[in-house]
Amino acid sequence: MSETTADPYAATEAETTQGKVYTVTGQDWDSIVTGIAEDHDDKIVVNMGPQHPSTHGVLRLILELEGETVTEARCGIGYLHTGIEKNMEFRSWTQGVTFCTRMDYLSPFFNEASYVLGVERLLDIEDDIPEKAQVMRVLLMELNRISSHLVCIATGGMEIGALTVMTIGFRERELVLDLFELITGLRMNHAFIRPGGVAQDMPAGALDEIRDFVALMKKRLPEYADLCNANPIFKARLVDVGHLDLAGCLALGLTGPPLRATGYPWDLRKSEPYSGYEDYDFEVQTWDTADAYGRFRIRLNEMWESLKIVEQAVERLAGLEGAPVMVGDKKIAWPSQLAIGSDGMGNSLDHIKHIMGESMEGLIHHFKLVTEGFRVPAGQAYVPVESPRGELGAHVVSDGGTKPFRVHFRDPSFTNLQATSVMSEGGMVADVIVAIASIDPVMGGVDR
C-alpha cells in the first residue's frame, strides 16, 4: 500500500473535552494500546454496542478498562423503545395482547399469559377458564421455554466460538416454531392467549406432531451435554465467570436461572402456581456454583423438565377432544371458532353466515364486542409468571372502561441487567460477553 493511501482499518482519533477518542474497528488494538502508553494513561473507556454481535440485541455497554481488566461496567438501554405499555392504553383489553406479545420476542406466550391472567383476575373469571384452555396455555408456555433456552444456549455458544452449539440450537428451535405455526398460525407475536381462554382449538394432528417433537428432542438434547458439559474449553470460559451469590441476587431482585444457580429453588410454577401448574409433575432445577456455567446447566436441565410437562399436557388434551377453549360468557368471549376464508385472509363466508343467521341481537353484540370491547371492573391486579428469564409480571389497572387505564410489566431482563457491573468488574473484558450471555437479556422486554 502506498504511503498516500489511507488504511481503511486504521484506528482514527479525535480530541474531545474528555481527552482522546479512538474509533476502533477491531483489527488495530495494538495501535490503540501504543497510543495510550504514549499518553501515560492506564485507563481506557470502551463502548461495546449498541450494534454489537455479542450484546444480545441493541444493548450498549460502557466499559472502563485497565489493560484487559474491567474496572467499571455500565449498561446503556433504550435503543429498542417501542412504547408498548403506552399504546395499550388506547386499545381494547383483547387488542392489548397483540402489543404485549411483542415485548420479549423470544417468549411471547409468557408476555400474553401474565397480562391475560391479570385481566381475568379483574374480571373475576379465573375459575371459569375452561380446563382445555389452561392446558393449552401450559403446553405453549413450556414449548416456548424450550425454544427460548435453545436461543440462549445457541447465541451464548456462538459468542465464545462454539459454532456447532449455535447451529444445532437454532436447528431445534425451528422445530418448536413449526409447532407454534401449526397451532396458532404464526411463528412469533401470536396474540393467541386471550382474556377468557385461547384464540382457537388445537388443529387436527397437532398432538401427534408434538409427540414426535418430544421424542426427537429426547435424542437431540444429549448432544448439548456431550458438546459442553465436560468440554474443558467450554468450562474454562464459563466456570467461575460472572459470579453472583444469593445475597447479590436478592439485593438486586434477580430471578430465574441466575437465582436458581445459587442453589435457591425459587420457581413461580411451584411457589405461586398459576394456570394449573400444581397439577403437573416436574422438579425445580438448581445449581450451586452461582456462575455462568451453573446458569447454562440449569437451562439445559429445565428443557428436560419442560418436555415432561409437555408430555403430560398432551395426554390431558387427548382426553379433552371437543371441549371449549373460551369462557361461556358471550359478553367477554372473543369468538374462538373463527374460520379462515378461502383466500387465506379474514373470516370464511360460512362463519359470517353463521353469525348473521343466529339473531340480529347476536350480530349487534358481535359487532360491539369486536369494535368496542368488554368493560373490566375498576381495580388493579399483578400476576407474575415464571418466564425463561425469571419473574415476568403485569400490573394491570382498570378504571372500569373498555381499555386499560395503565399496564406496566415487570420484565426480568430489565431487572437482571442490573447485575452486569457486579458480575463483570474485576474480570477480563472477554468475560463480559459470557456474563451478559448468562443473564440472557432480551432487549425488546427491557426497553418496551
Per-residue pLDDT tens for 312-329?
Answer: 999 998 888 888 888 877
Average of per-residue pLDDT values in the chain: 82
Which pLDDT tens digit goes with each residue over 7-60?
Answer: 554 555 656 555 666 665 555 556 655 655 565 566 778 787 777 666 677 888
Q: Is the pLDDT of residue 341 over 60?
A: no
Q: Do the beta carbons of residue 388 and residue 107 sit within 8 Å?
A: yes
Query: Pick from 141, 122, 437: which is nearest to 302 by CA?
Result: 141
pLDDT in tens, 64-90: 888 778 888 888 888 888 889 899 889
- Quote the pLDDT of residue 433: 86
Q: Which residue has the higher pLDDT, 151 or 332?
A: 151
Calpha distance 151→442 (Å, rounded): 11
226 class by beta-carbon count within 10 Å (0-12 exposed, 13-18 middle, 19+ buried):
exposed
Cell triple for 413: 431482563
Q: Do the beta carbons of residue 436 and residue 59 sit within 8 Å?
A: yes
Question: How far, in Å, CA of 17 to CA of 9, rounded?
Answer: 25
The residue behind cell 481503511 is 8
Confidence bin at 148 (pLDDT 50/70/90):
very high
Topology at the third CATH level for domain 84-332+374-447: Cytochrome-c3 Hydrogenase; chain B (1.10.645)
Q: Any idea where the domains of the chain sit in the sequence?
A: 84-332+374-447
Average pLDDT over residues 113-123: 91
Question: Which of the residue ranges 33-42, 268-277, 384-393, 407-416 would you say has the lowest mean pLDDT?
Answer: 33-42
Residue 116: per-residue pLDDT: 92
